[in-house]
Structure 1
Amino acid sequence: MTAYTDLMAYQRDTEALAQISGRLGWDQETMMPRGAAEQRGEEMGAIEGVLHARRTDPRIADWLEKARPEGEVAEAQLRQIRREFDRATKIPARLATEIARVTSVAQGIWAEARAAEDIPAFLPTLERVVALRREEAAALAAGGDLYDALLDDYEPGATQASVAAIFDGMRPRLVALREAILGAERQPKPLEGHFPAATQMKLAQELASAFGYDWSRGRLDLAVHPFSNGSGNDVRITTRTVESEPFNCVYSTIHETGHAAYEQGVDAAYLLTPLGQGCSMGVHESQSRIYENQLGRSRAFTSWLYGRMGEHFGPLSAGDADAFYGAVNRVEAGFIRTEADEVHYNLHVMLRFDLERQLISGALEVKGLEEAWNGRFVQDFGQKVAKPSQGMLQDVHWSVGLFGYFPTYTLGNVYAGCLMKALRAAVPDVDEALARGDASPATRWLKDRLQRHGRLRSPRATIAAACGFEPSEGPLLDYLEAKFGEIYAL
């Protein structure tokens, strides 16, 4: 057997073990009894120890040196393995295991603190998580920028400087659009009524099917913070229900279906290899956001959704499809990122990006985070945070150590804007299909142009290859200004 064949066989087992670790995380969020949290932390630490040992096995270096790849796919496989090996060998096994253990337990502590509106109960744990991630960043950066070292794990090739440049280019137009909308004479009314949770879940299943979710390789469950988990032939999604706010369930479901469709859409030949998953969190987010927003919140699709919700729940407070479209896309300055409209969403991300950079650099200590968050929120949104669940406790990300993850949400929106521009040019009748509740022309194009390729290319190259042009924030901002200018008669 060749060195390449030996390496890929070894890697297949590592990828399979990583999937098992991910399934433990899924179970923790959906099925696990509360009393198992400490034990689950030990289990997660143990499996991470095994994975770290495999990822740093000296034989990998030998195989990489001797392997002679033939073709683009083999070269990409080796590039990914080399990248992961180089990163893993910089992190001590003790640190990798401790991060997995602490963040597993921290998730439960965060959930309890959030429910109790009790920041002091969470601070010691968050301080430990931040300290561990700083230590990891120092090991990875080898004298370079700490935050860049963490960001590279989620969006390879990106730096805080490159992200900040995009954000700086977006902020003026976003703020100007927000101010124009909030001051407009036309203001759509929100959807009101009672929407039973069980009926919402039936609709959620219908929506996931409409966007191409393969139920033979997945399932839908409830979670406090909706997420998608897995790759290949086992890709699971979650959603949540609020009986007075059905759009929470509707668009959480479509969003997570976008993530899942990406993983289900990767070429089957890449299963349990380094190429067999999404190439970055930013590209992943481009799929969830284009499914949720450009497709799911479009005038065409909401005209169909209006009819389906009427059949499920009875007459709606929105008197017609046009009023319903306005309700779906209503803009208001709320506190919660996951519930934010398309205009405000990226401003929420920018706040988190700036604060977490300060946390990792040491310019901001954990004990000062609440004050910094609340002050920045008043500055950016003109509102005072009334309770921690509206502020620094609303997101799960920092409790599980995902520093460097937040900016990928806005990068995903930027990529989605580019993809939709290219999709409309390539599939001119997409709205006719969406108006029938049929997203397949759009999702087929996305699968062919992007999803099936997995990690074959770098993130920006993946988007450029799909669109036919280099990604930038322009198409997203143009789309937002056109859409909301029409809705609000600006």
Structure 2
Amino acid sequence: MAAYDDLMAFQRVTEALSQVAGRTGWDQEAIMPRGAAPQRAEEMAALEEVLHARRTDPRLGDWLREAHAPDAVADANLAELQRSYDRNRKVPARLAAELARVTSLAQGQWAGARASEDAAAFLPVLEEVVRLRREEAAHLAEGGDPYDALMQDYEPGGSAAEMATMFDSMRPRLVVLRQAALDAAPAPRLSGNFPKADQIALAHEIARAFGYDFDRGRLDLAVHPFSSGSGMDVRITTRVDEADPFNCLYSTIHEVGHACYEQNVDLAHLLTPIGKGVSMGVHESQSRSYENQLGRSEAYCGWLFGRMRDVFGDIGVASERDFYRAVNAVRPGFIRTESDELQYNLHVMLRFDLERALILGDLEVADLEGAWNDRFAADFGVTVDRPSLGFMQDVHWSVGLMGYFPTYSLGNLFAGCLMQSARATLPDLDASLAAGDPTPATDWLRDNLQRYGALRSPVDTIQHATGKAPSAGPLLDYLEAKFTDLYR
């Protein structure tokens, strides 16, 4: 046990430093003064140098060879440490630090260029990000598929071929359902006065109801909502549009799903390799379950309709049913994070194809905006007229998250499986949701999935919770039933 104990003591410091780096990134996106960006980039690079040195320390190899796992938890910790050690040794320290520095700068430049609709100001730094990620992918792939190599950061064991098969299985039914909804009578729209302070107050109330622990977290504003941290410090952000309260409220529920996963991992795993969400696909299954299958359900919308009228007065719709239709409206639109459940995965498919082409060298950054606009017109039938509605709407590429986007759709697929199983064991769930109480479902997710962290592989995590191998069927059946009812 001596080698295992020494290894875990060393790793505990690495995990703590990684949390510091993550919190520094949260600060940059949430509250850092804009003038601090150049210094912050150097700080992020310095932190990454220290972390990379620890993650590739030769002593790790010795400990991993000598350590023995007395139980399943130790076995999972050793497997994750071995995977991380093998992976990090392939990336030069110089490249790891440069990626941290450039992506830190790029995030701020993206935000400024997005606000001013100035694509030309963003392209040079994006070219540098893509160049560095291509270099990293070449080191990691060692002659294999470079995009698959990058995907391992977000979905261990996943591959582009598997993602493409998933998309091929989903696209036909999604396209048919979307067209039927678009051909039907349009859904109602909200109207009224939705002050920022009232939206934020209601977002706090809803976050608590979904299980978010504000003693170990906080809610702030960001250009692009996100969740950060694990264990005892898990922070979320949202954004506010005073003409559209759904943007704030549903972004908050979504990020609470991510945050509750991290807050609910058994504290016995704190600052260990498995003391976090196992993958971004599984992570996204939590946020999409919270946001869509619970938060956009007819039962919960009935409660939210009354609560929003309490807070905002007249909101422009007169019945619970019309409110439910407004929440789940299917309309042509540009923004992925504001998309309905039918079109959301089509947005992800577009990004998957484009970023894969970028990494493989089949598409250059200079041609990205045109490729995006052409593909968007073909897939969605509308013309993108400014960068913030097109290729600059998401933060992901500016911070180098190539290989991340397909995990959003994988998370939707996992969510369909999870909520099918949850509802089978929770026959009174809709009655609770109608009272504004999602805890029967969120407790089920905590007990059956979240508390285990990364104890199992992503697919085994879903199968352990549901008793079945994951597939697209439950998601597609749920969508067909829901939107057939909504749009007759």
2:191–2:316 CA contact under 8 A, matched in 1? yes
SS in 1 for 2:470: coil
Once the two structures are superposed, residues 66-100 of structure 1 have per-residue CA deviations (whole angstroms, 9 ceiling, x without a partner) of 00111110000000000000011000000000000
2:338 — aligned with what?
Answer: 339
Summarize the alignment of residues 24-173 of structure 1 with structure 2, pairs less than 5 Å apart: 24-173=24-173
Amino acid at match of 1:159: S
Cα distance in 2, alignment partners of residues 272 and 62 from structure 1: 21
CA distance in 2, matches of 1:223, 1:171: 32
- In the alignment, the residues of structure 2 paired with residue 192 and residue 311 of structure 1 have an alpha-carbon distance, to the nearest angstrom, of 15
What is the match of residue 226 of structure 2?
227
Aligned residue pairs total 488
Inter-partner Cα distance in structure 2 for 1:222 and 1:131: 31
- Using the TM superposition, give the Cα deviation of residue 153 of structure 1 relative to its aligned residue in structure 2, in angstroms: 1.2
Q: Once the 2 structures are TM-superposed, how far is the Cα of residue 427 of structure 1 from its aligned partner?
A: 1.0
Task: Give, in whole Å, the separation in 2 of the partners of 1:345 and 1:435.
Answer: 26
Which position in structure 2 is the counterpart of 1:355? 354
The answer (yes or no) to whether the contact 2:55–2:85 under 8 Å persists in 1 is yes
> How far 1:116 moved relative to its partner?
1.1
Unaligned runs of 5+ in 2: none
* Equivalent residue, structure 2, for 1:439: 438
Residue 5 (structure 2) aligns with: 5
CA contact (8 A) 2:193 2:315 kept: no
C-alpha deviations, 1:322-353, integer Å up to 9, x for none? 11111000101200111111111000000000
Distance 1:478 1:315 in 2: 35
The match for 1:205 is 204
Alignment of 1:407-418 (within 5 A): 407-418=406-417
Following the alignment from structure 1 to structure 2, what is the Cα–Cα distance between the partners of residues 376 and 194? 36
Match of 2:153, SS? helix
How many angstroms apart in 2 are the aligned matches of 1:116 and 1:344?
27
Name the SS for the 1:400 alignment partner: coil
CA distance in 2, matches of 1:77, 1:152: 17
Shift of 1:192: 1.2
Q: In structure 2, what is the equivalent of residue 274 of structure 1?
A: 273
2:463 aligned with 1:476: no
User: What is the letter of the counterpart of residue 198 of structure 1?
Assistant: A
Q: How much has 1:320 moved relative to structure 2?
A: 1.1
After superposition, what is the alpha-carbon deviation per residue over 1:343-393, rounded to whole angstroms, capped at 9, x for unaligned? 110000000000001000000011010110000001100111010111011
Equivalent residue of 1:229, what SS? strand
Counterpart CA distance in 2 for 1:27 and 1:151 is: 26
Q: TM-score, normalised by structure 2?
A: 0.99
Amino acid at match of 2:92: P
Normalised to the residue count of structure 1, the TM-score between the two structures is 0.99
Per-residue CA deviation, residues 263-310 of structure 1 (Å, 9 max, x unaligned), is 001011000000110000000000000000000000010111111111
Q: Distance in 2 between matches of 1:344 and 1:485?
A: 15
Q: What's the counterpart of residue 248 of structure 1?
A: 247
Segments of 5+ residues of structure 1 without an aligned counterpart are none
Shift of 1:187: 2.5
Kindly indicate whether residue 251 of structure 2 is the aligned counterpart of residue 260 of structure 1: no
Deviation at 1:152, TM superposition (A): 1.3
Find the residue that maps to 1:424 and give its secondary structure.
helix
Give the root-mean-square deviation of aligned CA atoms. Answer: 0.7
Distance in 2 between residues matched to 1:187 and 1:378, nearest whole Å: 21
Displaced runs of 4 or more, over 6 A: none
Give % identity.
Answer: 66
- Aligned partner letter, 1:17: L
| Aligned partners of 2:222 and 2:238 also within 8 Å | yes
- 1:308 is aligned to 2:304: no
1:5-62 CA distance string (max 9 Å, x none): 0000000000000000001001001110000000000000000000000000000000
